[in-house]
Amino acid sequence: MSAAVAESRPATAAGDGARRALRRVAIPVLDSSQLFDVEVEDGHFASIRAVGETAAGAKPAASLWPGYTECHAHIALPANFDDSIDEPELVALQYLYHGVTQVVDMFGFPLVRQRWQDAAAASWLPYPEVAHCGYAITAMCGYDGKGAHGTEFPSPVFMLGCESDLDTILEANAKLGASFLKVMFTDGVEQPGSPVKFNRLSAPLLEALAKAVAARGIPCVLDCNTREEVLLAYRFGFRYFAHAVRDVELSDADWANLPGASFVSTLSGLRPMVMSREEFLDEYGHAGFVQTQDAANLDFVAGIEQPFGVARNCFETRTGALRAMRQNSRAALARGALRVGTDAGNAGGFHGYSLLAELRLLAERRGRADVALQTNACLDGRRFFELLAGRAASEPFAVGAAATFNLFRDADAATGALPDETVVRGIAVDRARIAQFIHSRRASATKGKVSL
């Protein structure tokens, strides 16, 4: 039997989810040549047993994958084009709807942390896990009047002026519950010859920061744009980068000089600057958008006459930057150095929905399965989350592990397709109920928005 057969009976306790058996399913991250029988009980895997090899030429079985990880998000920044921020409870459900079960928040989460926690305690679904950095570190305003990257956003950042500021900043972020550090180290240059937009931390101050976090064992993610910025930061000991390099395509020699480095893709959060009306409507026309996002965004993009980047005089540079970022992301994927993330919270980068869009943008052939990319988004993303959360690496499919997974009934489903089912700690995500809840919040007095 090649198709998965699910059997279930009622749970014995509220919140445990159904007892369930899945027969002859593929689990590619365990063994792509085998089929497995899987049993779930009390929210955990009770049994995972290989039952035979996949028959040559047979229709592929349904497949189980770990939940997706969003490796670069900003829950407290405005994803909507009217600069509004969705309520944290909506954001959590937007992620679950699209099969995202872990989120790396790259700054600002403390603004909504209490409301997120309160909503999670009252929810009928387990919320996505969040690892966050508190507030980001950036430079002071320069003598030329240029601000530092991060100060343009409606979320606090710590401005590092001298080495003696470090203890204060690191202690403050620890009290905010941060498990890693985010550092803005970019002058905003996107392509060779494009203008400097931001003041940047000095090299001596960046080196002092590297020593401080290494001494404390704090993971650190750097926001860099260019090859030069990445190579300098790497020399000081930094290994995790919040974006793919965007000014040039890295050479084989460059990659040889960056062992152990990893880069988050972030195409979806930057692409809206260069998209036309037709591209927006196509991009937001996939399953899940109208069910989870504010429909006012569709009305807005339907009315634009030209890409935003034309009026802001950055269309050509951003187009070139996106081309380089995709090339560098694919090269990183081939080297095990890619982490899939969107920069959601930038206008047009939507929580949950845009992670699947990111996969479509990164896929080698759109509309086809890209197993290497799918594995990266599910497994390598999970490892990145665990590292930044300060947790030991764990196996997603192991007896006793929490039963959290995405199920695709067609094992050859196109990368970036909506999972047929998402299960979180043994509880199946009811997408219809999520959509109904979100729509009811949109119709309420708050319109599903929060003021910070």
Place 143 in a pLDDT band, splitting at 50, 70 and 90: confident
- Give ∠ CA 375-380-382 in degrees, rounded to 5: 110
Place 368 in a pLDDT band, splitting at 50, 70 and 90: confident
Mean pLDDT over residues 392-416, rounded?
Answer: 96
CA distance 170 to 176: 10
409 compared with 5, residue with greater pLDDT: 409
Mean pLDDT over residues 131-153, rounded?
Answer: 95
- Average pLDDT for the chain: 94
What DSSP designation does 163 have? Answer: G
Place 367 in a pLDDT band, splitting at 50, 70 and 90: confident
Place 17 in a pLDDT band, splitting at 50, 70 and 90: low
pLDDT at 416: 96
CA distance 328 to 377: 16
Mean pLDDT over residues 65-73, rounded?
Answer: 99
Place 60 in a pLDDT band, splitting at 50, 70 and 90: low
pLDDT at 204: 97
* Model confidence at 7: pLDDT above 80: no
Tally of residues, the chain? 452
68-395+430-450 CATH choice from 3.20.20.140, 3.40.50.10090, 3.60.110.10, 3.30.565.10: 3.20.20.140
CA distance 27 to 50: 10
The string of pLDDT tens digits covering residues 205-247 is 999 999 999 999 999 999 999 999 999 999 999 999 999 999 9
* Model confidence at 3: pLDDT above 50: no
CA distance 77 to 132: 14
The string of pLDDT tens digits covering residues 275-329 is 999 999 999 999 999 999 999 999 999 999 999 999 999 999 999 999 999 999 9
Mean pLDDT over residues 150-173, rounded?
Answer: 96
Longest dimension (CA), the chain: 70
Mean pLDDT over residues 375-385, rounded?
Answer: 98
Nearest alpha-carbon partner for 230 in 181, 193, 264: 264
